[in-house]
Chains A and B, each alone.
Chain A
Amino acid sequence: MSITAETAKEHAKDPAVLCCRAEAGTVLSASNLEDPAIFDDLVDSGLLNLDGCLTIEQILGATLTKTCDSLTPLTPDVLDGVKEVASEEAAEETAVPVAAAPAAPAPVAGPAAGGVLRIHIGEGKDINIELPTGLTSGGAAVAEVTEAPVAGVAAAPAPAAVEEEKVIRTLTRKHFKITEVKRGPETKIEGTTLYIREGIEADVVADQELVKKFELEIITPDKYHTYSETIMDVQPIATKEGDSDLGTGVTRVLDGVVMMLTGTDEDGVQIGEFGSSEGYLDENIMWNRPGCPDKGEIFIKGNIVIQEKTNMERRGPMAAHTAFDVITQEIRTVLKKLDESLVVDTEELKQVRRPGKKKVVIVKEIMGQGAMHDNFILPVEPVGVLGARANVDLGNVPVCVSPLEVLDGCIHALTCIGPASKEMSRHYWREPLVLEALHDEEVDLCGVVFVGSPQINAEKFYVSKRVGYTVEAMDVDGAFVTTEGFGNNHIDFASHLEQIGMRGVPVVGMSYCAVQGALVVGNKYMTAMVDNNKSESGIENEVLGCNTLCPEDAIRALAMLKTAMAGEDIKKAEKKWNPNVKATNVELIEKAYGKKVDLVANEQSLPMSQKRKEKYD
């Protein structure tokens, strides 16, 4: 199929191949050329050999000297009047006067900047010039900020003053240590021992009509090698002090212990599950992932049995989560009254705005297809149930929250299937991208937008258009879009990126993709993408939390967005998943920042279960 002049321009540096038979004497134009997007497949299958092929910009306007069949790569021997195009280096050099400062990071700092940044304005009014701060040409990262503004201030006629940081609100986390969990006559905390009332199981069962049975188990590290049903959720135990709302004031949290929910229906069928992913805890949990338990923590593990056949209905998982919260709520009540002297650590999280810095927003796509593909948004207590609204009930439309609300547990995730890529409730409590962006002094994080992923395409586009307008109204310089899992949620994921990208806002997408989660759709705005995969073979390896967003992904995404916001090109992705791309980017970032990026371990670090050994690796 021939291409348009516009496409030809976009692909100026790509190989020129005839789309259909052309007679000798034809003056070549875009309409004679095949779309370079399909070449990879043709080369792979051996139908096309691009050796010695000229680029599109070289052959446009040239005359064919020989009649050629379709799919003939255009080489100098069949053409007359091939354009000499300056080599890559030369092209870059000519661009220097415009982009001197951004292109060369080192000279920026010195008084004798490598080139001259000349801005000439003959006549004008209300001119704002913003200069990218400290950029490298490496296509990956940013040099020290402290130095970069030097060039900006010196050169920019408009005031490029960097204003003071503004602390909008703070959230204090008071940590209480728990080293032992026991059963006792009442729920209480004594020193570092948490007692859970005997007989609390009956309250859990009584709370929801659908809940028929409940068992509580306390898993200490020596019991990690215990058989367990599929893990539905991992939650922190936290409560608000006084009347403060989520995301403000003081939150008390228990360290060393997490709530873990598992469940089946009365017939023993897993809640909202497909296939078997149950097994031994220590073989199935990727320790220390943001959403997972940390190694050494005690799990208060509840196994809920709900009415038969409700495991695949929306009310089933909802009832399980709501009933399980009875226990957490009882612990919260005790935690509220705990003596201050037991606080082992106080952490202050600040929501900082940095006027004058690049304004960014994080769009997090959460599941919204129904049943366990749902999330309770904004409960009264961190990761609670009371007061929250399910995003399916909200129509999956975008909901704006503050970064501190995210870190204070504003999402109670019912967590979709696919253990390796699901973001559990605890993930939001320790969301790495929000933390990185909040602490990065080079960007101004203005907020977080949660948007659900509905089932039907029309609804998907309905919500993604709302995302577009929300981001437009925010007037940001850059955006992140993240999603969990894979499947049809990649359709709206792509649409969110398009809606943001078409408004001229640089946007970075983050998802698990690799081999199994390869994107089903794409558009021209999906150029900057970060893959959350950690598994060795690039697959859903049934290990809880393995392929979720981690600090290393957040660092890569930030570096990529800064690069995109600076107007630099991000290299095209390779056709097939190649883990080396990540390795190279991490190396580039380490070089540019001068600091080590610690990469997390993957399933290879776990005791190798027979199933993984044989099936995957």
Chain B
Amino acid sequence: MKELQYGDKIIRMEGVIVDIDDCSISVDLKGRLGFFKAPKRMFICDYPLKVGQELGWNMSFPEQLGPEVNEKYVSNIEKERRKQEEMRQQRIDNKEV
């Protein structure tokens, strides 16, 4: 496994809960720094979850592990995209009928 070069550069981040469902929490990073969605079990919660609550965590910067493209993932993403497209289309067609 490649060692991280900047793994110890830890910064405090904050975000806001923008969506909660039965298995995940969606978070907008404050300062327009992005968005992420992660499984509930990766969050530590002292209070019942509500949209609008603020979160804090430490993180570093994601680093590229190398220049190579992993074809396997590319093909999975492509397959996934095509399948979703197809299924969505099917659903729309069904509704029209």
Residues of A within 8 A of B (CB): 227, 264, 266-269, 272, 274, 276, 278-279, 305, 308, 312-314, 367, 369-373, 416-417, 453, 455-458, 485, 487-489, 491, 520, 537, 539, 609-611, 614-617
Contacts and interface: CB of A to CB of B under 8 A. Distances in A.
Given A274-B37, A276-B80, A370-B23, A488 B43 contact: yes
A77 B41 CA distance: 52
A455 B45 CA distance: 7
Return the 3 tightest CB-CB contacts between A and B, nearest first.
A268-B84, A487-B41, A371-B23
Given A268-B86, A615-B70, 6 more contacts: A268-B84, A279-B76, A314-B22, A609-B72, A611-B70, A617-B1
Contact of A373 (B41, B71, B86): B41
A262 B87 CA distance: 16
A209 B79 CA distance: 27
B23 A610 contact: no
B42 interface: yes
B44 A312 contact: no
Given A274-B39, A485-B41, A610-B71, A312 B23 contact: yes
22 contacts: A264-B83, A266-B87, A267-B84, A267-B87, A276-B73, A276-B76, A278-B80, A312-B24, A369-B23, A369-B41, A370-B22, A370-B23, A370-B40, A416-B39, A416-B41, A457-B44, A457-B45, A458-B46, A488-B42, A610-B71, A614-B68, A616-B1
B39 to A, nearest CB: 6
A617 B41 CA distance: 27
A456 B1 contact: no
A523 to B, nearest CB: 16
B51 interface: no
Contacts of B38: 274
A455 B88 contact: no
A488 B47 contact: no
B83 A489 contact: no
Contacts of A268: 80, 83-88
B44 to A, nearest CB: 5
A457 B66 CA distance: 39
Interface in B53-97: 65-66, 68, 70-73, 76-77, 79-80, 83-88, 91
Contacts of B83: 264, 268
Nearest to A487: B41
B41 A489 contact: yes
B72 to A, nearest CB: 4
Contact of B41 (A279, A367, A457): A367
A456 B47 contact: yes
Nearest to A313: B22
Interface residues of B, number: 36
Contacts of A456: 45-49
Contacts of A487: 39, 41-42
Contact of B40 (A276, A369, A520, A539): A369
A369 B40 CA distance: 7
A282 B27 CA distance: 35
Contacts of A313: 21-22
A491 B44 contact: yes
Contacts of A615: 65, 70
A265 to B, nearest CB: 9
A371 B24 CA distance: 9
A520 B38 CA distance: 17
Contacts of B22: 312-314, 370-371
Given A267-B91, A312-B22, A537 B42 contact: no
B46 A488 contact: no
Nearest to B80: A276
A455 B49 contact: yes
A264 B91 CA distance: 14
Contacts of B86: 268
B58 to A, nearest CB: 12
Contacts of B76: 276, 278-279
B8 to A, nearest CB: 9
Contacts of B65: 615
Identify the interface centre among B73, B77, B88: most chain A CB within 10 Å of its CB: B73
Contact of B23 (A373, A485, A616): A373
A308 B91 contact: yes
Nearest to B76: A276
Identify the interface centre among B22, B37, B48, B84: most chain A CB within 10 Å of its CB: B22
Contacts of A416: 39, 41
B71 to A, nearest CB: 6
Identify the interface centre among B23, B24, B41: most chain A CB within 10 Å of its CB: B23
B24 to A, nearest CB: 6
A614 B91 CA distance: 37
Contacts of A610: 70-72
A268 B83 CA distance: 6
Contacts of A269: 84
Contacts of A455: 40-41, 43, 45, 49
Contact of A488 (B1, B23, B41, B71): B41
A279 B76 CA distance: 7
A372 B23 contact: yes
A488 B70 contact: no
B16 to A, nearest CB: 18
Given A313-B22, A455-B49, A616-B1, A279 B44 contact: no
A369 B43 CA distance: 11
